[in-house]
Structure 1
Amino acid sequence: MRKKLRIGLAAYGTGWDIQAWRLPEATSSGLYDPSVIVDIARIAERGRLDYIFAGSSLASEPDRLQRIHRWDSAVFAGYAAAITRNVGFLVSVNSSFEHPFTVARQLATLDNFSNGRAALNVVMGIDREGGPHLNYAGTNIPTDATKYERAREFTVVLNQLLNSWDRDFVLDDKEGGVLVRPDAWRRVDFKGRFFEVRGPLNAPPPVQRQIPNVHVGQSQESLDYGADLAHVRFSPYLGIDEGKREYRRLKDLVAARGRDPERFKIIPGVTFYVAGTNREARAKFNEIEAFQHTTQIPAAYARAFGVDLTGVRETERVRDVLDLSTLAADTLKDLVRDDAPAARGRLSSDDRVWLRDVVFATLGEDVTLGDLYRFTLNHRYAQGVLVGDARTAADWLENNLDEGVLDGVQLFPPYHRGPADTFVDLVVPELQRRGLFRTEYEARTLEGNLGTTEDATDPRLTAPPEPALSR
Structure 2
Amino acid sequence: MSNRRKLRLGLAAYGTGWDLDAWRLPEASNTGLRDPSVILDIARTAERGKLDYVFAGSALGSEPDRLNRIYRWDNFVYAGYAAALTKNLGFLMSVNSSFEHPYGIARQLATLDNFTAGRTALNVVFGIDRDGDPIGNYGKNPMPTETTKYDRAREFTAVVNRLLYESWDDDLLLDDKAGGALIRPGSWHQIDHHGEHFDVRGPLNVPPPVQPHIPIVQVGLSEESLRFGADYAQVRFSPYFGISRGKEEYRKLKERVAANGRDPEKFKIIPGITFYLAGTTREAVAKFNEINALQLTEEIPSAFSAALGVDLSRVRDTERVLDVVDVESLDDGALKPFISDRARDVKNDRELLRQVLTAQVGEDATLRELYQYVQRSRHEQQPAVVGDAAKIADWLEENLEEHVLDGVQLFPPYHRGPADLFVDLVVPELQRRGIFRTEYEAPTLQGLLDTDDY
TM-score by length of 1: 0.89
1:24 paired to 2:19: no
Q: Which of residues 372, 383, 386 is equivalent to 1:374?
A: 372
* % identical equivalent positions: 63
1:171 paired to 2:168: no
* Deviation (angstroms), 1:357: 9.7
1:386 paired to 2:391: no
Q: Which of residues 132, 136, 149 is equivalent to 1:130?
A: 132
Q: Give the 3 Å change call, closer, same or farther, for CA 213–346 of structure 1 in structure 2.
A: farther
Aligned to 2:232: 229
Task: Indicate the SS of the match to 1:60.
Answer: coil
What whole-Å deviation, never above 9, does each CA across 1:388-446 have from its counterpart, x for those lacking one? Answer: 11111111111111111110100000000000000000110111111111111001100
What whole-Å deviation, never above 9, does each CA across 1:211-244 have from its counterpart, x for those lacking one? Answer: 1111111111111111110111111111111111
User: Aligned partners of 2:54 and 2:293: how far apart in 1?
Assistant: 29
1:253 paired to 2:263: no
Aligned to 2:201: 198
Pairs aligned (count): 445
Aligned to 1:11: 13
8 A contact 2:276–2:386 mirrored in 1: yes
Q: Give the 3 Å change call, closer, same or farther, for CA 200–19 of structure 1 in structure 2.
A: same
The letter of the residue matching 2:51 is L
Aligned to 1:444: 443
Aligned to 1:347: 342
8 A contact 2:240–2:271 mirrored in 1: yes
Q: Give the 3 Å change call, closer, same or farther, for CA 211–301 of structure 1 in structure 2.
A: same
1:35 paired to 2:30: no
User: Aligned partners of 2:329 and 2:309: how far apart in 1?
Assistant: 13
Q: Give the 3 Å change call, closer, same or farther, for CA 324–91 of structure 1 in structure 2.
A: farther
List aligned pairs for 1:307-346, cutoff 5 A. 308-314=311-317, 315-317=319-321, 320-321=325-326, 326-328=331-333, 331-333=335-337, 335=338
User: Aligned partners of 2:131 and 2:282: how far apart in 1?
Assistant: 37
Task: Indicate the SS of the match to 1:246.
Answer: helix
Q: Which of residues 206, 213, 237 is equivalent to 1:210?
A: 213
* Deviation (angstroms), 1:79: 0.6
List aligned pairs for 1:53-202, cutoff 5 A. 53-163=55-165, 164-202=167-205
* Deviation (angstroms), 1:362: 2.9
The letter of the residue matching 2:389 is A
Task: Indicate the SS of the match to 2:298.
Answer: coil
Q: Which of residues 215, 220, 231 is equivalent to 2:223?
A: 220
Q: Give the 3 Å change call, closer, same or farther, for CA 134–311 of structure 1 in structure 2.
A: farther
8 A contact 1:243–1:405 mirrored in 2: yes
TM-score by length of 2: 0.92
Q: Give the 3 Å change call, closer, same or farther, for CA 358–96 of structure 1 in structure 2.
A: farther
* Deviation (angstroms), 1:347: 2.9
1:359 paired to 2:356: yes
Q: Which runs of 5+ in 1 are unaligned?
A: 337-344, 456-471
- The runs of 4+ residues in structure 1 deviating greater than 4 Å are 302-308, 321-325, 348-354, 364-368
* Deviation (angstroms), 1:382: 3.1
RMSD of equivalent CA atoms: 2.3
- Out of 11-20 and 58-67, give the one that drifted further: 58-67
